Amino acid sequence: MKNDFLSTIVLNGKNFSYFDIAKICQVKGRDIRELPYSIRILLESLIRQLDDVDVTKYHVENLVSYKAEHPTGEVPFKPSRVILQDFTGVPVLVDLAAMRDAVVKGGGSAEQINPEIPVDLVIDHSIQVDVFGTESAFQQNMELEFERNNERYQFLKWAEGSFQSFRAVPPATGIIHQVNLEFLSEVIIEKDGLLYPDSMFGTDSHTTMINGIGVLGWGVGGIEAEAAMLGEPSYFSVPQVVGVKLTGKMPKLATATDLALKVTQLLRQANVVGKFVEFFGPGLAQLSLADRATVANMAPEYGATCGYFPIDEESLAYMALTNRSQEQIERTETYTRANSLFYQDEMHPTYTEIIELDLSQLRPSIAGPKRPQDLIELSEAASAFRASLTNPVGVQGFGLDQEENLKRVTIEMDGQKEELATGHVALAAITSCTNTSNPSVLIAAGLLAKNAVEKGLSVSKSIKTSLAPGSKVVSGYLRQSGLQTYLDQLGFHLVGYGCTTCIGNSGDLPAAVAEAIQEEDLLVAAVLSGNRNFEGRINPLIKANYLASPPLVVAYALAGNMNLDLTRDPLGVDHDGQAVYLEDIMPSRDQIEDYIAKYVTPQLFKEEYQTVFTDSPAWNAIETETSARYQWDSASTYIQNPPYFEYMDRPLAIESLKDLVVLAKFGDSVTTDHISPAGNIARLSPAAQYLEENGISYMDFNSYGSRRGNHEVMMRGTFANIRIKNELAEGKIGGWTKYKDQLMPIYDAAMHYQADGVGSIVIAGKDYGMGSSRDWAAKGSNLLGVKAVLAESFERIHRSNLVMMGILPLQFLDGETADSLGLTGRERYDVELPSHPQVGQKVLVRASSGDAVTEFWVKLRFDAVSDIRYYRNGGILPMVVRKKLGEQI
């Protein structure tokens, strides 16, 4: 069947074949123009990979007859490649190494476990902002990074030499999504004369940034990425596709960040969770590729699987800018025009729903204090901050007294006294893949810094400032334009290339500031150009966190306090004592575009990427051996062999769950940051106790993220976030619960339950597991003995990860909650499971407390047939090993 739909195009005298999606639509009586572009890409993938085993004729025909309002069926998707970052990539590779051992133990060969598609790993999550405000910050932070992470980097070097189709981009090079956008993606791939679209999975939720250049990709959990690497399809329901029609043109003062934050607010309100989002309309032509990438990057924040921008002339122009070859550019244009994948503004597909956004209505904005979707226009920011102080405790409030805003404390820094007040901007960071890929906002920040310095403005030493670009290209144009000099004078020195403040690698605040915050319980703020500002994520001492564009990050650093209204209040005074306002130093759009045209060039991209894999002396100096199987070091506190394959001799059967105890009962919006934190390891915690018992001092704890290759650390960190609120902990905030009426860390209680031979369940509210695609949120739950999670709703990736780790996801029926059913969390739970469950069926749950029994039905969140297979095997990892050994799955 599949070869019936092969067509041919000629490029530079050579014939290339491709699978013609218009041809199959015509045969089936469907107009290709009715299908959203993202659905067309899925359809091409299904035709190309049709094998009547994983991908069948039914899957192809079902997608051809796609019904926008009520799509049905499932898609077995096999991406063209996988990209990893080191926090999530290390455990992926640890699992593959462990799978090699398991296959050998079962009588197979270690080489049976190898990536079957290209895999790139970009080491960008390990850099921390220990040193700032000095020209030597970058070098010092990099040296500390290599010192702390030597064991991990040795392991990654081993993987690079031992696994096929695997490359590693060394540390201090750039952020995964920016390197992917600027360099790694081919957009359209050629293999053995066959052309097809680049598509990808990434073990980071902001993989969606690649959607900005027309590549379909999104974030998955590490275990799902492993499956894709090993040739397993990812099954998901045929998605609804929401079209966002862009009209108008952005006003002069609005930035790409303002657009991204507005889209996040708009689409969160429209509830696009689990859906595809596709952008179209006349306003599309007004957006640069970098602007599109900024919006696409934020798809996890607005809840969509992806935020797709079809390939058009701007995509081709960006490929030229980033030094892609002329051959690549011609291939992309010719193929996409021939195969109905090139954007046409005059006709748009049929969407599930259309949402309109007039770009001319955008205003300078920030988002916070605890969620990226909580948009605040800049003119309302000061009043919104003051209101948040006394608002009830929640996503927009801290529940404090009116007197909170009167707090003042005097500190001494560098021999000078300084007063800190409530709302003090303790941290200002130009950080994150979202904005540091975009020259317009970075040059705007540099020009604003230039104007501020020339006026005589400065930034207080009590503010931790940092600049962590997404690639060396950024440093190139900031340096060549002379703007880095002015950023340096305001304290925004280069601190490293990688994810820093946005993921909690912000490092310690200045000692005097930290001491004052703790002693006075002072509520201070962070302003960062990131995509995540969940509670407890940015810095443990900072409660109010706001997302803002890079120029506004600089402006708030100059202002020094969230109580200042940047649209009305002066930022300071100039050399003559005259008030200086934001509008006085904000650069014009024309000035920004002039700088971009002059300093952001293809030659710069060529210079920075031509030796990207080999130009790190520190990386090249790491010594490691080449072997098919990894030589585990039992003394390592970074890399350990995980215990996922210990019970593979158990029979494959699905049975009811009996006598489960509630390990934790949560409310709404429990994120993967709460479940599996990636920030600092608290000094008094089960993970800290483990490290100290293994001879690690507090100064060398590093972060949870850096120790993801050690399950002993990570399972102790599961549910250990200092801000998590377990309703069983009698009001104590943090990773606490009750075991036999004794309050203790959740990890300790879980170990007691396992020793007692008792399984556990977690109960939660809405949006359980939203946030980064952290495999350890599911892996840690599994290792703590959690057998099921019962929630009002799940974030897409986390629900999938739970199933892939053999944990049962259950959802309350509409209108029912734990509270409405009178569940306290002190009951014992039975879950009645049929031996052959069906996708989405209802199952009975019985909650018993003494003689009182509450029975209720819940939805079994098996969303695809593959979920049932994963669960029956105890997870996808044992299933893949059995498959490689030729066993029944």
State the SS3 of 527-551: EECCCCCCCCCCCCCCCEEEECCHH
What is the residue type of 672?
T
C-alpha to C-alpha distance for 164 and 118, rounded to whole angstroms: 8
292, 212 in Cβ contact below 8 A?
A: yes
Residue 177 token pair: 């999504």
Burial of 660: CB neighbours in 10 Å, binned 0-12, 13-18, 19+:
buried
Axis crossing angle, helix 439-455 with helix 472-480, rounded to the nearest 10? 40
Identify the DSSP state of 205. Answer: G
What is the residue type of 439?
P
Backbone CA torsion sign across 502, 504, 506, 511: positive
Identify the DSSP state of 246. Answer: E
Residue spans of the chain under pLDDT 70: 677-678, 772-773
Note the pLDDT of residue 536.
79
Note the pLDDT of residue 773.
59
Taken in order of first residue, the domains within the chain and their CATH numbers are: 2-77 (no CATH), 365-600 (3.30.499.10), 657-872 (3.20.19.10)
Distance of CA 553 to the CA centre of its chain: 21
Q: Which of 92, 62, 90, 91 is nearest to 235 (CA)?
A: 62
Distance of CA 130 to the CA centre of its chain: 23
For 585, the 3-state DSSP assignment is: helix
- pTM of the prediction? 0.88
Backbone CA torsion sign across 435, 436, 438, 441: positive
Q: How many CA atoms lie within 13 A of 552 on its CB side?
A: 30
Note the pLDDT of residue 434.
86
Residue 837 token pair: 């469950």
C-alpha to C-alpha distance for 561 and 551, rounded to whole angstroms: 16
C-alpha to C-alpha distance for 342 and 338, rounded to whole angstroms: 8
160, 148 in Cβ contact below 8 A?
A: no
Backbone angles phi, psi at 573, to 5 degrees: -125, 150
Note the pLDDT of residue 772.
67
Note the pLDDT of residue 3.
86
Identify the DSSP state of 471. Answer: B
First to last CA, the chain: 28
Q: Residue with structure tokens 């997870």?
A: 875
Backbone angles phi, psi at 715, to 5 degrees: -70, -30
734, 684 in Cβ contact below 8 A?
A: no
